[in-house]
Chain A
């Protein structure tokens, strides 16, 4: 890894029943993807509070992924719809204050879509890599990152 190549750091919120299971499947199938993502498990994507998204970006991370079950398949009936709607509003707000919209991504990944999970991580990582580091909150003195990926 060359020291000056920008390696974004992305936080992914995955619901336990579909997307987290899909990520597990990518693992058992040994499908390789970039190591830039850190995953936080929630029971349902509906649990993802706008506060978390804002926190991730304010802390200086470069991107955030929220992933839940496909429409109609949420383990709790409608959590994924609510998550979507809430995320759209949060995104608008963050865009308004200057965050690039590509930094906030949502996807639907089922328990059997290991390959899709890997693909999504690839895309999100690539997308965020292209727009570069998240500097918006840098002056707040938070943007200290150590790790980064491959």
Chain B
């Protein structure tokens, strides 16, 4: 078969590292040694033990499980020196899930550095670490033997780094946290397509735009680029779609066939025929809630003509079946008892349309996030609550009505906030796809933090890259740049926003009409107060060090000793997140300094070196060049003081050396701090203007970490770069492509459909008092002066329901959240 295409996206993924039978880990020789992938199956509802945690030898519940990290990763012996990036976190997740199954479980993780560098990961790791019965032990291990009777496995390790003796301990089950490797036959594909691979068989793409391979028109996403997790893979995939769209923008839509839906069945006059579908969500719901019981219960409710359970209600199989069942049983109301409507309602509404039902004849019962997951310790109570929730949903379902959705035109231009690398890459991507784009930058110049970064760990020249971006932005006729600009007012919604911006020193007010918004407002360097920063001029941040290195200051060329302290302002109680880039940044600067002055002594004081993926090789290189790595504990931080000796003020750093357990004292010429990346203080204002949320750390919060990593829950608003979370420049650039891609899916449409949830007025009883007019924030309801009754403009109404709650005559009814529907939910509860 021959297919003609304009561009190719490569996402061939990876293979899991296979420990050899003769390897030291006893894999396949000892029955209770499994890979993490096999353990993932053991945890799964559709797995070998139907979701119960058992071990292979005797099908008993293991009471002591050990995880061994970095199997097949960071290992010169097997040739994979890189870090697989994901195993630390998947092991941590497995620990939490296994503890959920069995709170008595003793879980032990034998690890090297723990690489919890992604958004929200540090918190997750801390939580696992602080769970009773969980031990994280930093130690190399060897698997000694299998005990003949019990088939338990004995592991030898060092309990504390200072121990001279090795300990031995018995485990019921051992999980090998295996790494990710490139696929065996990938070279063949690479040769056919003439693209380059790196030494490990992953795709060698353009370093600062990692989605572009060495061949124009061919793009890469996912682990084939480098080991990465789901959110980063999804992000990169969106980005790849964007680059293809840029290339093929002229032909956009030419081969598309519109999806056709069957005509909507008219259900007026029919009595309610409710179908209830209860999801097990693998084990997520089924473990906490007695699903068959909820089904039986649902069958007993009035108007319920059908009830069934699904393993995953949202799977393609289940929704296809749902569509059939609706038609077969003549359902005219559907209740799905599963997860949250905030993420999954659209999936099922789509199925209703395919089955010829109006999408609003649907109600979701949230028995996962708001029941099984939060009452996991009391299955009876959770089951009772699930029954109540289903009963409420059915009560409301009986009364819901089909709704019309208005189509509205789309303003095909975009607003991008923040002119750093992320903002500029998004802007260029949209402009190159033919969409007019407005770029709003608060400061006088474009570039953001990258203006202070000169090269990357991999050696790329950032200033040249940045100048090129800036030039392309200014030259593109579809781009309007506003500097010294600040956003003062935002109105509208997806497809039709109007934003007011004051521009320049003169504060000229501009009004920008746009269909979508991308927030790329970036982040800032943390200014610490500890370690004498700001008090002694020899103490500086890594970025400040980089600036001096680039200017070739004398201090640098004459520096004989440098100490670097990592995690300053990160991973503590105030900022319990990892800033992701500082480990790489420290290695980068250390290597550069060694280049400038090979004699320099560098001490790098760290907590975990988080040089994930191929950055690991640079960590090794630094170690080979005798950068001295000294691990410290957060409870025993390094101390910095100035000592007066022989008329000199000596900068002295002391730290506990972890192997000898003794205090090490270093007199140093300079001290560099790997400081945190912090969100700008005015993120709050931006979040309020656009009504989009921030997370606990002050970064913007995405709609769904894995499924919608660059979208906000509000339609038509997207995010990328440091605004989302700390990340390297290449990652920011890929995410910026992704945000552009998501934004373009809206801009490419002729129409957006407005939410059908709007209000309506019973004109016969309306007294025309105008209270509704006063409360409506959108001027969507106004009293008709002649007829003295309130009228709703459905295109403007956002469906908040404020007017309905305020109307003294009770004549405003809020579609889908009508008084009688909510009252029915309340009444149902006491049934």
Contacts and interface: CB of A to CB of B under 8 A. Distances in A.
Contact of B342 (A16, A40, A50, A113): A16
Interface in B727-761: 757
Contact of B375 (A35, A55, A113): A35
B368 A43 contact: no
Interface string A7-49: 0010100001110110111111011110100111111101111
Contact of A24 (B340, B377, B381, B814): B340
A23 B696 contact: no
Given A23-B369, A32-B376, A150 B381 contact: yes
Nearest to B697: A112
A32 B800 contact: no
Contacts of B694: 110, 112
A66 to B, nearest CB: 11
Nearest to B127: A29
A59 B826 contact: yes
Contact of A112 (B387, B696, B757): B696
A60 interface: yes
A59 B830 contact: yes
Interface string A92-116: 0000000000000000001111000
A51 B819 contact: yes
B406 interface: no
A146 B387 CA distance: 12
Contacts of A144: 830
B814 A28 contact: no
A47 B800 contact: yes
Interface string B803-831: 01110001000100101001101110111
B801 A21 contact: no
Contact of A47 (B382, B695, B805, B823): B805
Interface residues of B, number: 58
Given A31-B374, A51-B819, A112-B693, A40 B701 contact: no
B610 to A, nearest CB: 23
Contact of A38 (B374, B388, B805): B388
B714 interface: yes
Contacts of A48: 805
A21 B831 CA distance: 28
B48 interface: no
Size category, A interface: 35 or more
B798 interface: yes
A30 B376 contact: yes
A52 interface: yes
Contacts of B374: 26-27, 30-33, 35, 118
B812 to A, nearest CB: 10
Contacts of B688: 72-73
Nearest to B377: A32
A49 B804 contact: yes
Interface in A48-104: 48-52, 55-56, 59-61, 72-79, 82-83, 86
A23 B340 CA distance: 10
Interface in B360-408: 366, 368-371, 373-378, 381-382, 384-385, 387-389, 392
B569 interface: no
A39 B370 contact: yes
A21 B340 CA distance: 9
Contacts of A112: 693-696, 701
Interface string B669-712: 00000000000000000011001011110000100000000000
A74 B829 contact: no
Contacts of B827: 59
B500 to A, nearest CB: 15
B373 A30 contact: yes
A75 B96 CA distance: 34
A132 B798 CA distance: 40
Contacts of B382: 35
Given A49-B819, A79-B802, A111-B701, A27 B385 contact: no
Contacts of A26: 369, 374
Nearest to A64: B826
Given A17-B713, A55-B823, A47 B804 contact: yes
A142 interface: yes
Contacts of B687: 73
Interface of A: 1, 9, 11, 16-18, 20-21, 23-28, 30-33, 35, 38-44, 46-52, 55-56, 59-61, 72-79, 82-83, 86, 110-113, 118, 142, 144-150
Interface of B: 96, 100, 340-342, 366, 368-371, 373-378, 381-382, 384-385, 387-389, 392, 687-688, 691, 693-696, 701, 713-714, 757, 775, 777-778, 798-802, 804-806, 810, 814, 817, 819, 822-823, 825-827, 829-831
Q: Which 9 A-B pairs have the closest CB atoms?
A: A27-B369, A47-B801, A76-B800, A46-B802, A77-B777, A44-B800, A111-B693, A24-B369, A27-B373
Given A1-B381, A59-B827, A73-B688, 13 more contacts: A17-B693, A31-B374, A32-B375, A35-B381, A35-B382, A38-B392, A73-B687, A73-B693, A75-B800, A76-B802, A82-B775, A110-B693, A110-B694
17 contacts: A25-B369, A26-B374, A35-B374, A35-B384, A38-B829, A41-B341, A41-B366, A42-B817, A43-B799, A47-B801, A47-B814, A59-B826, A60-B830, A61-B830, A76-B798, A82-B802, A145-B830
